[in-house]
Amino acid sequence: MSENNYLQVDHLVKYFGDDRAVDGISFGIPEGKFLTLLGPSGCGKTTTLMCIAGLHKPDAGEIRIGSDPVTSIEKRINTAPEKRNIGMVFQSYAIWPHMDVSQNVAYPLEIRNMAQSEIDDRVAEALKIVGLTDMADKNATQLSGGQQQRAALARAMVFRPRLLLFDEPLSNLDLKLREQMRVELKRIQHEIGITSIYVTHDQAEALVMSDEIIVMSKGHIEQTGGPHSIYARPVNKFVSDFIGVANLTEGRIVSNGGGGAGTIEISQGGESVQLPCLLADGLAEGDDAFLSVRPENVDASRQPKDGPRIEGEVIQSVFLGNCLDCRVKWGEFEWKVLAHSRERLRVGEKVYVRLDPDHTLAVRP
């Protein structure tokens, strides 16, 4: 693990009864960066966040913020949540309805017995950052959902925590507002520079907002990387299927040409084809694998082109303006294709499918 990480989690384990919710995971994040824990419900992401916050006590492992261990089961350290200097933004906003916006934001400073002049300055600064200066005197119940979330963010950062944690903070907002708030949250986090950890099951949020993403499943880390690498180079079937849309079909590695490249063979209805691909780490000749390729990297045309190709029948063609969202049937498998609108592919037509070898992956099952 890097010594440069501001937050470091090592071999974290958390049980609920016999259920091992977090299974020995380790990761770190440099100071000022935005890390997202991404995965389906029950994967352990929120439990991990709660352990970092001190709201759950782990059964094993260590958590360090800066140079300070705040949790170490071996060393019998478990710093109380209120002494970790961590800000949290919850799904439910947790805005107090009997207070106005400025009072909500000021509360963390008041319980720290700060001077009123400093409280006023910090509240004004926080409200300006989140764009709520004009709402300072409004009662919390007069705010929209997006404004309440901004107020919750201002309250979480006003005392200048060393770490900011987000637990699915946008899931209660409608789609349009959620999309706006993704950009706003990232802008604000970048502006204030607080190291942040964000929990979500929404892959679009993770891709838009994160410097780094950890994909989790069943208490384990499946893959860690930047948004582009997670999307473009998933390491296994789970990540490929969970992140975005992918064509996934079973196959077998028939060659490993070195340098991360090889050949995978796939079959349907007695017809087999061998396709050049990039290999996930650890795959060798003869291994079972899954072919994974995004729809935008699949070409369908009436005329055959150079290289390996698959003949199929168009069973869906939906015009989306700049492209056609198509399904091409090959045996029992349906290729998802984003074709150029100039192709004008029609249902019932025979077409040739070709996969971009630079974006066709063989991934682990």
pLDDT in tens, 186-213: 999 999 999 999 999 999 999 999 999 9
Q: Of 237, 260, 290, which one is at a domain's C-terminal end?
A: 237
- Tell the residue number behind the tokens 């400073």, with chain if given: 109
Judgement on whether residues 195 and 284 belong to the same structural domain of the protein: no
- Whichever domain contains 279, its CATH number is 2.40.50.100
Tell me the percentage of the chain whose pLDDT exceeds 70: 99
Judgement on whether residues 159 and 208 belong to the same structural domain of the protein: yes
Judgement on whether residues 347 and 330 belong to the same structural domain of the protein: yes
* Confidence check: pLDDT of 2 > 80: no
Judgement on whether residues 111 and 225 belong to the same structural domain of the protein: yes
Judgement on whether residues 79 and 151 belong to the same structural domain of the protein: yes
* Confidence check: pLDDT of 274 > 50: yes
Judgement on whether residues 59 and 155 belong to the same structural domain of the protein: yes
Distance between CA 103 and CA 204 in Å, rounded? Answer: 34
Judgement on whether residues 219 and 245 belong to the same structural domain of the protein: no
Judgement on whether residues 131 and 257 belong to the same structural domain of the protein: no
pLDDT digits (tens, 9 = 90+) for 120-176: 999 999 999 999 999 999 998 889 988 999 999 999 999 999 999 999 999 888 989
Judgement on whether residues 168 and 31 belong to the same structural domain of the protein: yes
Judgement on whether residues 165 and 80 belong to the same structural domain of the protein: yes
Q: Of 221, 237, 253, which one is at a domain's C-terminal end?
A: 237
Q: Of 193, 210, 237, which one is at a domain's C-terminal end?
A: 237
Judgement on whether residues 64 and 152 belong to the same structural domain of the protein: yes
242 CB-near residues (< 8 Å, 6+ apart): 38, 39, 40, 203, 215, 217
Confidence of residue 23 (pLDDT cuts 50, 70, 90): very high
Domain boundaries, position 233: 5-237
Instruction: Give helix 116-129 / helix 145-157 axis angle, nearest 10°.
Output: 130
Judgement on whether residues 83 and 171 belong to the same structural domain of the protein: yes
Confidence of residue 228 (pLDDT cuts 50, 70, 90): very high
Domain count, the chain: 2
- Whichever domain contains 26, its CATH number is 3.40.50.300
Strand order in the sheet with 34-38: 86-89, 163-167, 196-200, 34-38, 212-217, 220-225
